[in-house]
Structure 1
Amino acid sequence: MIERTDGGGSAGPAALTRLPLTDIVQPDSPRLAGPDHEHARLLANSDAALPPILVNRRTMRVVDGAHRLLAARLRGQEAIDVDFCDCDDDEAFVLAVEKNVMHGLPLSRSERTAATERILGAYPEWSDRAIAAVVGLSHKTVGSIRRRATKDADPVTHRRGRDGRMRPVNGAAARARVSSLLADRQDASLREIARQAGVSPDTVRNVRDDSRRAEALTAPEPRGVPEQDPERREPPRRASACVRIQPPGPAGRTALMRSLRSDPSLRFSESGRLLLRLLDMYALNPDDWARVSGDVPAHRASDIVRLARECGRIWQNFAAAVEQRQRDAGEE
């Protein structure tokens, strides 16, 4: 049975879950030889409280904290504090590697190499730098492992960087596509060209500016007061329509959260991880919301209603700010 422990009052951290050791599944660890028993004994003999371990709620498998779990067993504990994450097996392995690189007993180079090969198999579209940020190797080393591990695999035309953007592997070919689209679709926005060519709007802007500079260098010297060339005239900016996004519904919300959690641009930045945690808290299904609202004590109902409405207003302002940034980018 799961117990709850107080996390330190209403102003403190969230309450931890205290879980029986028998309910926890052994980790799918990046450590090739398994946990280091000597390191676990050092933790067990320490007087310090063991920090909570990280457990995948879907499988009850340890994601981070195998040595702490072993230390708890050596101490004779029956339960341990845990934090939960919710992800599939590939995402859990990436998170395990990232956590083990950041703290605790360091991974060996062979373990980091093996982890890199596994992540490349699960996420071949991730860039060398994105994987390097997880495994703690240089991007050049990751590139070398990629070439060795995927030499017989189908070539990947685009890769997703640490910022979450997909970029072409062959930059010259991509710029040639952009140049052709700019010539054929002179009334299209940068974002439309970028979407069709599979590149970023910044790449489209750079190709366009390079083309204009080349034209200016080769243009004949004008005589007298030149008239504006209509073919060189800047296309009019079109008003960007505000797109109303429909709510995804419970099933769509679950799929959308799964997609957001696997996006490196969110997973590998502090603000991105904070946003995911906030969205996770509000992504309850209608039955959960009904149960929570039914359990609100009557004597605090007015206070909770006031705070809930204020939270709603804050989220509305946040959504409006993000939409405005999209509109501003679409006008470029």
Structure 2
Amino acid sequence: MARREGEWGAVSSDPPLGEVVEVPLDALSVEDSPRAAGVDLAYAQVLAETDAPLPPILVHRPTMRVIDGTHRLQAAKMKNAAVINAQFFDGDEQAAFILAVKSNIAHGLPLSLADRKSAACRILNVRPQWSDRAIAAVTGLSHKTVGKLRRRSSGEVPQSNAHVGRDGRVRALDPAQGRRRAHELITSNPSASVREIARGAGISLATAHDVRHRHRLGEAPSAARKPTPAKPRVRPVDAVDPSTTQGADDQAAVERLRSDPTIRYTESGRTLVRLLDGHLNDRDEWDQVARNIPEHRLELISELAKARAEDWRQFAELLQKRKR
């Protein structure tokens, strides 16, 4: 059984896993990789020296090209292996490239910012109907960066009057339409959660929050409101260069760490992932927790939160010192 492309509309999900088989190393190709710099030999050497079994690589059956696992393939060559465990993907070459990009931001050695931008431009050409957020989910960029790339290449990229989101839902590009639909959902079901409203209307959580707020005030879903003056943003002198973290998604970053053999096969690495994972919560969840804390415990919990924040700040400083 092989991985199949399916519709590949729900870009947040992967094709189903198939049977793992042994494939001869000399039958495989590493062409058309989204990684412009090629294989990092030092990283491949780390994998070659790992005693634990590595996950199977992913191969495009029609071309025998490695979609995911070029470093694992190189590690196998370093160990003079004749075969490697693999799974097959039977989709077309465009879908194979998209899967390669998504796989290489999810684990192992992450793609560089330049590689991710290049991949986004290519996906914009072959999947112009996908939304900025959908392409961002595949490439590990922010949706704003994808939007800039789309506008920069708007003359070359075919335009569409609708976008396919990360969940595979087709959404109209008219924002007023989504707001009107959200207003109707709130009217018919006032107890609906913000997530339900956003999902049903095909809008973002922030927009759903705004529409519900307007509904409570008796305003139209898209009535003009007085803009709030923007606060000047002051960038600390020692802040991290945004280009190194552009589009970073916290949960995706932790998943990459969780899948990285150099992290997952050490006790300290697993401990780090558990600590990071425990602090990742949706902003709505934080707001809900804060609203429901008893008043007589607000001060105590506030102090505990500050203490944990200070622990993480000191940990970040240790990492920066090692980097320097």
Please identify the structure whose Cα radius of gyration is greater: 1
By relative contact order (CA 8 Å, sep 6+), the higher-ranking structure is 2
